Amino acid sequence: MFKNHKEIGRFLGFVSKNSLFLFSINILSVFSSFIVGVLISRRLGVVPFGEYTTAYNFYNMFYYLPLLGLGIFVTRELAKDKTRVNKYFANVGFISLITSIICFLLICVIVFLMKYGRNTKIATYIVSLSLFPNSLILLTQAIFIAFAKARYAFFVAIAEAMVKVIFSLVALTLGYGINSLMGIQLFSKFIGSILSIYFVIRCTRSFRIEIDFNFCRNILKEFAFTFALITILGSILTKIDIIVLSGIRGITEVGWYGPASKLTWFGYTFILAITTTFFPIASKLFAVSGELFEVASRQSLKYFTAMLLPFLIVGFLVSDRLILFCFGREFMNSVIVFKILIWSIFFIGLCGFCDSILIVGNKQRQTIYTLCFSLIVSLILNISFSYRWGYIGTSIAFLLSIGTYAALEFFLVNRLMFSLHLISILGKPLLSFGFAVIFISLFQHRLNLLSLIILSELIYFFILLSSRTFTKEDIRVFRKLWQEGKVVS
């Protein structure tokens, strides 16, 4: 049994180091796509940007599906026994290859049946081919996390981002269109997959292919169905908005919705980095001590909430200038959408922590039930709101859908695992947030933007610290973070 402070310090040290790499990976991926999107919006306009957003959304919807959610399983199992890396890589890789083919064919059928233009359909077909190399990249990333070598995945992400941005800039300068840009996306993924295989060989030092059909069958039978269903439902829940909007209102309104959606994904990258690294360490803590796991979960969620809210305030305040700076006046309709979608970042984070806690506690089936219910709510809201209010209604429907899912997951954790102590975790950060909002509403027309941001942030942190949100125990944990982080790394 480990001592509480030392174990939690190690936990936070490991999370901070690997989260930095994972955060950088997600930032590079999203930022490179964002830069390409900005170039398209500036050079080609709303409709081509809508085509780009629609095609990319289909790819993103099936992004994790070829792996059938087995990345979590691979990380969990290799964290326990790293000697089986060759077997998991070969067999899960083989499974993902087959499912990639199925996903590609499914996308082709759906897009063929939709009333899209020729350019949108071809762009979607091309970018969907990226599912094949991308599934391999995701598998190797799960392996790198288990080996605590997330830096390898970071190197792969750098190569991908450089290829995508540089070649896209050249293509747009030479006058090429959306389809060529999708071809560049495909090429960058093949470069990333080759590098990923190289780093796996370097990581294991005894790399060999061990395809075992009985092992594949057992994985699919015992683990894949539940994880795959969670992956499918989660992807649909977060990507159905653009598909419904494009089907009901057309590509132009997707072009106005897309900038806000892309900006919001920057917040999601931080969430994905934290929750992805949280999972393998939480699994180890759960195996060692349920009490340590419980304390680490509460404190991680507490820090996450306290640090996230001020960023949401700033994003809300600068939304109009951010849209104008990145995309131009033609996309100013996206401002109201971004002001709505930015609050979904908090709910996405809450979902990520609660999902990890439930999966560590082997409560995956309950997660499936909440996903199914939330997806039904999402479909009803997206269809009705998009039909009546267009892209603004779609943003409201997305926020309400994610909020519903977060509330249900939070309830399940409290009911099936342990109490998260809602008041102690969220009470003081929300109180501080409330004072900042009141200040903004009173002085938003009397102060310039920079002064408003600085003063609102100061008020937030003053209330947060003066209300003793972080106890002496929390301060000791932060000190252990710096002391133990180096040891773990």
pLDDT for res 224: 59
pLDDT, average across residues 56-66: 88
Among 84-88, 198-202, 220-224, name the most confident range: 198-202
Among 183-192, 214-223, 352-361, 426-435, name the most confident range: 183-192
pLDDT tens by residue, 369-402: 999 999 999 999 999 999 999 999 999 999 999 9
CA 394 from centre of chain: 20
Cβ atoms within 10 Å of 208's Cβ, excluding its own = 10
| pLDDT of 409 over the 60 cut | yes
pLDDT, average across residues 82-111: 88
Distances from the Cα of 106 to the Cαs of 70, 224, 378, 434, in angstroms?
20, 19, 22, 46
pLDDT tens by residue, 12-32: 455 555 556 766 777 788 788
Nearest C-alpha neighbor of 291 from the set 418, 470, 415, 479: 418
Mean pLDDT of the chain: 82
pLDDT, average across residues 246-274: 84
pLDDT tens by residue, 458-471: 888 888 888 776 66
pTM of the model: 0.81
Q: Where are the domains of the chain?
A: 4-488
Q: Tell me the pLDDT band of 340, cut-offs 50, 70 and 90.
A: very high
pLDDT for res 174: 92
Residue type, 209: I
Buried b (16+ CB within 10 A) or exposed e, 274-304: bbbbbbbbbbbbbeeeeebbbbbbbbbbbbb
pLDDT, average across residues 36-44: 89
Q: Tell me the pLDDT band of 488, cut-offs 50, 70 and 90.
A: very low
pLDDT for res 86: 82
**Distance between CA 405 and CA 8 in Å, rounded?**
29
pLDDT for res 486: 38
pLDDT for res 192: 93
